[in-house]
C-alpha cells in the first residue's frame, strides 16, 4: 500500500514539475530578455505554487532560457560586474571611457531590449553595488558625467 502511495506521489510530483516547466517555457517564449523581476516571479511561483525547491525552480528557468536562447538579466549583471572590476583602478575608480565600454557591452548582451538610459542606469547601479566610484574627467575635473546618469 505504501508503494502505491509513493508511486502516486512521485507521479503527481512529476506532473507538477512538468506543469511548472510548461509555465516557464510559456513565460520565456517570445522574449529575448528575462528581467530580474520576471525571473524572481517565476522562481516564486515554482517554490510557492508548485512545491519545488529553489534550486530546482532555478534550474527549470535556466534550462528554458537556454533552450529558447533567452538572456537572463542576472547573467548580464554578473558579466558587467566582472568587466567593471577589471576596468577599475586600484582605488576602485572607473574612467568614463571604461563605463561607456561596459554600457555598450550591456546593451549588446540585452539585444536592444533596453534603452540607452536604462542600460546606463543599470550599469551605474551595478557600479554602486560594488562600491566603485567614478574618476574625475573633463576640463574641470568633475564627476558630473556620472551624476547625469
Confidence (pLDDT) at 73 = 93
3-state SS class at 93: strand
pLDDT at 13 over 70: yes
Q: What is the mean pLDDT of residues 76-105?
A: 94
pLDDT at 101 over 90: yes
Per-residue pLDDT tens over the stretch 125-134: 999 999 999 9
Q: What is the mean pLDDT of residues 108-137?
A: 91
pLDDT at 15 over 60: yes
Per-residue pLDDT tens over the stretch 39-88: 999 999 999 999 999 999 999 999 999 998 889 999 999 999 999 999 99
Measure the CA–CA gap between 109 and 32, rounded to whole angstroms: 10
How far apart, in Å, do the first and last CA atoms of the chain sit? 65
Q: What is the mean pLDDT of residues 131-144?
A: 77
Measure the CA–CA gap between 137 and 93, rounded to whole angstroms: 12
Confidence (pLDDT) at 61 = 93
SS3 readout for 125-136: HHHHHCCCEECC
3-state SS class at 71: strand
Confidence at 138, pLDDT banded by 50, 70, 90: low
3-state SS class at 88: coil
The cell for 10 is 512521485
Q: What is the mean pLDDT of residues 86-98?
A: 92
3-state SS class at 104: helix
- Helix H or strand E segment including 23: helix 2-28
Amino acid at each position: 500500500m505504501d508503494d502505491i502511495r509513493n508511486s502516486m506521489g512521485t507521479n503527481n510530483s512529476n506532473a507538477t514539475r512538468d506543469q511548472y516547466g510548461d509555465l516557464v517555457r510559456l513565460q520565456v517564449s517570445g522574449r529575448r530578455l528575462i528581467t530580474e523581476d520576471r525571473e524572481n516571479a517565476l522562481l516564486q511561483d515554482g517554490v510557492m505554487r508548485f512545491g519545488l525547491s529553489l534550486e530546482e525552480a532555478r534550474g527549470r528557468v535556466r534550462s528554458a532560457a537556454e533552450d529558447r536562447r533567452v538572456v537572463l538579466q542576472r547573467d548580464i549583471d554578473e558579466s558587467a560586474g566582472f568587466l567593471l572590476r577589471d576596468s577599475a583602478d586600484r582605488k576602485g575608480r572607473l574612467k568614463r571611457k571604461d563605463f561607456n565600454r561596459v554600457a555598450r557591452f550591456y546593451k549588446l548582451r540585452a539585444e536592444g531590449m533596453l534603452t540607452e538610459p536604462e542600460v546606463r542606469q543599470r550599469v551605474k547601479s551595478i557600479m554602486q553595488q560594488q562600491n566603485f566610484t567614478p574618476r574625475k574627467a573633463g576640463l574641470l575635473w568633475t564627476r558630473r558625467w556620472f551624476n547625469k546618469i
